[in-house]
Chain A
Amino acid sequence: MVQSPHPSDVESISAPAVADPVAPGPKPSALPVHDRRAPSTATATRSTDSAQAVVVIDGVTKRFGEVDALGLLSLAVPAGRITVLLGPNGAGKTTAIRLITGALVPDEGSVSVFGIDPGGRDGEDVRMRCGVVSAKPSLYDRLSGMDNLRYAAELYGLGRGSGVDARVVEAADQFGIAADLEQRVGGYSTGMKTRLALARAVLHQPTLMLLDEPTSGLDPESAVAVLAMVRDMTAEGKTVLMCTHLLLEAERLADQIVVIDKGAHLLSGDPDTLAARFWPHPTVSITTTDGFGLDTLAGIPGVADYQRSGDTAAYRLDVAERVPHLVAALAEGGAAIESVVPFQPSLEDLYFAIRAQYGRGPNDPSDYVAWRRRAPGQKTAPEHAQQEEATR
């Protein structure tokens, strides 16, 4: 079982009402689809269907005073995969992680991790098998990096002594922080702290990694390095649940995404499947000099729909194999083709499409639809104004 959506979500998954399925994307994805969703070596050999759910959250609510942190959240985290929990600030991502380790207990619903209730009597078994990296590194600034790791080693039952120290150094070395272990953590940079927190989280060789915005506050280089390390974790067979609101990093890692908002599950699944649901037909954008010949393609078999915007038109096709026919037809008609760009929906497109479907776009959903409808290369009014300003 890949997911255990709340009953109210089932319908939306099986019959996704797309925000704008016809419209071409605003821009081609920065990363090819097969790259950004490439599962790790270990996970590539497993099918989603056969993957066991390590974490199952079913209809959980959690309230803090007057605030509903979680409202009937349901999700499942398959084994050996990277599941990315996506959502805006305050969506309930951190609360979800706290429920998984048993640090918090739900008001309603149930949480099962490795088949155990983490908030129950056997919660220690769950916590022994979890490695957690919080949004803030949660390190003891007055202690050295070595002492921080030793503390964790002892709490997680690794004991003390030279054997444990060797394991500590090994874990630190895995994240490139071994040389700085004798320094006090108070003198560490944010990146070093995150690396140390990651080393601490893997010290006891957990099978489930819970990462709460692990790249928060990092410079781009460190963030990329951390993401690479996260990817390596699944290569070692670990299950990873990562919270983020940064779509780009989710795009690079996710085997499965779970979109939540206001403590509720909106949609989940592997990115390709979800993209296929929202954009079931291949779309290609073609630009010719002066837009010559673009309208003539509308009558070609297999072109379901098209939208023209200046020198560019976006064609929705029945199958991707139609693209050479379109290009050939344009060439035969004497058009000077400037670009042929297949639309590859990015996770950003998908995320906003999902949120727009639920009327939860960060901005006015109608703005989003307008944005989505523009042809490749076409600029929004603010973007256009910015460019004009720059030109002047």
Chain B
Amino acid sequence: MNYRRVATVARTDLRQLAQAKDFWVPMGLLGSMFFIVVPTILLLSITTIGDVDVVDRMAEALEVLPESAMAQVANVNPQGQTGYALAVFLFAPVAVIVPLTISTAVGASAIVGERERGTGEFLAHSPASAREIYLGKLLASIIPGYFTVAVGFTVYSVIVNLLVGPDVGGWFFPTREWWIMILWVLPPFLALCLSLVLRLSARVSSTAAAQQASGLVSLPLIMTAYSQATGFLVGGGWVPVAIGGVAWMVAIVSLTRGVRSVTRARLLGVAGT
């Protein structure tokens, strides 16, 4: 395995992606919507505007959260409690939906795109092994999603700390659970999703077909990741951590099997014909 070649394939794909405004502008807007616009509006309406109706309704919703989850803010005002609950628990899916959506979109065209552009011929004749190409494509698909999370997570942290922090006694975000979710729970789901998407990309005949098929494949995974992330943040404890571990193992197996899906014949578009 030549890791330089893996990095080269990934870097070149990312360079092309950076040139594709028609891709990253909508994806940037998606990330902005989830990480900035929606949280800002909701948190502002609670903490700054102090809308009594909204706070009351949210307070009712917070009753479903376990006591342990709200113990840290038991002594703060209702606006602070509501803002805290929103920031820490209810936006958890944001960290899952955005990267999975972006990475799925990139991964879907990773192999079939090479074939459609005719550049698969170049890769097929190159000394890069199928495994190196596969890993390069995998990295190039993961990085945009994870990069968006990193940037969005940072901006989101600043926003919630600025808006909710004064009500809960200072900067409180990210919490320990969020760190674990971002670094432990999200990556295996991302890898698992992409291992399936790349397999599809290697097998289908067009990018459009890959996008449609990968949407079907990734949706259940997104929902699973969503529920796991939410459950982990709300419930805490070691069970979600263990589930993250299981997700890692499944992802590794799926990635290993996925390597076989990329062949030179598939890059040329003659496999299975």
Taking Cβ atoms with an 8 Å cutoff, the residues of A that contact B are 64-65, 67, 98, 101-104, 124, 127-128, 130, 132, 134, 136-143, 147, 151-152, 154-157, 184, 200, 210
Question: Which residues does chain B contribute within 8 Å of A157, judged by CB atoms?
Answer: 127
Give B100-152 interface residues, CB cut-off 8 Å to A: 117-122, 124-129
Give A157 to B8 CA distance when docked, in angstroms: 10
Question: Which residues does chain A contribute within 8 Å of B273, judged by CB atoms?
Answer: 64-65, 67
Decide: B126 and A127 in contact? CB cutoff 8 A: yes
**How close is A118's CB to chain B, nearest CB, in angstroms?**
10
Decide: A138 and B119 in contact? CB cutoff 8 A: yes
Q: Which residue of B lies closest to A125 (CB)?
A: B127
Question: Which residues does chain A contribute within 8 Å of B119, judged by CB atoms?
Answer: 138-140
Q: Which residue of B lies closest to A132 (CB)?
A: B125
Decide: A155 and B8 in contact? CB cutoff 8 A: yes
Give A363 to B159 CA distance when docked, in angstroms: 76
Decide: B122 and A142 in contact? CB cutoff 8 A: no
Decide: B127 and A156 in contact? CB cutoff 8 A: yes
Give A132 to B127 CA distance when docked, in angstroms: 12
Question: Which residues does chain A contribute within 8 Å of B117, judged by CB atoms?
Answer: 140-141
Residues 259-270 of B, flagged 1 when their CB comes within 8 A of A and 0 if not, give: 000001101101
Q: Most chain-B CB neighbours within 10 Å: which of A67, A98, A103? A: A103
B20 interface residue (CB < 8 Å to A): yes
Question: Which residues does chain A contribute within 8 Å of B19, judged by CB atoms?
Answer: 142-143, 184
In the complex where A140-B12, A154-B5 touch, is A104 in contact with B126 (Cβ < 8 A)? no
Q: Which of B20, B120, B268, B270 contacts A142 (CB 8 A)?
A: B20
Question: Which residues does chain A contribute within 8 Å of B120, judged by CB atoms?
Answer: 138
Contact count A vs B, C-beta below 8 Å: 79
Give B27-69 interface residues, CB cut-off 8 Å to A: none
In the complex where A65-B273, A104-B264, A138-B119 touch, is A143 in contact with B127 (Cβ < 8 A)? no
Please tell me the size bucket of the interface on B. 20 to 34
**How close is B225's CB to chain A, nearest CB, in angstroms?**
31
**How close is B109's CB to chain A, nearest CB, in angstroms?**
12
Q: List 10 A-B contacts (CB under 8 A).
A: A98-B125, A98-B268, A103-B267, A134-B125, A136-B118, A137-B118, A138-B121, A154-B4, A155-B8, A210-B125
B257 interface residue (CB < 8 Å to A): no
Decide: B124 and A98 in contact? CB cutoff 8 A: yes
B75 interface residue (CB < 8 Å to A): no
Q: Which residue of A lies closest to B265 (CB)?
A: A104
Residues 238-270 of B, flagged 1 when their CB comes within 8 A of A and 0 if not, give: 000000000000000000000000001101101
Question: Which residues does chain A contribute within 8 Å of B126, judged by CB atoms?
Answer: 127, 152, 155-156
Question: Which residues does chain B contribute within 8 Å of A104, judged by CB atoms?
Answer: 264-265, 268, 270
Q: Which of B20, B129, B264 contacts A103 (CB 8 A)?
A: B264
Decide: A127 and B125 in contact? CB cutoff 8 A: yes
**How close is A255's CB to chain B, nearest CB, in angstroms?**
23
Decide: B127 and A124 in contact? CB cutoff 8 A: yes
**How close is A106's CB to chain B, nearest CB, in angstroms?**
12
In the A-B complex, the 3 residue pairs with the smallest Cβ-Cβ separation, listed nearest first, are A138-B122, A103-B124, A154-B8
Question: Which residues does chain A contribute within 8 Å of B8, judged by CB atoms?
Answer: 151, 154-155
**How close is A294's CB to chain B, nearest CB, in angstroms?**
56
Give A138 to B272 CA distance when docked, in angstroms: 22
Q: A65-B273, A155-B126 are in contact. List 4 more A-B contacts (CB 8 A).
A: A103-B264, A137-B118, A142-B20, A210-B125
**How close is A71's CB to chain B, nearest CB, in angstroms?**
16
Q: Most chain-A CB neighbours within 10 Å: which of B8, B19, B117, B121? A: B121
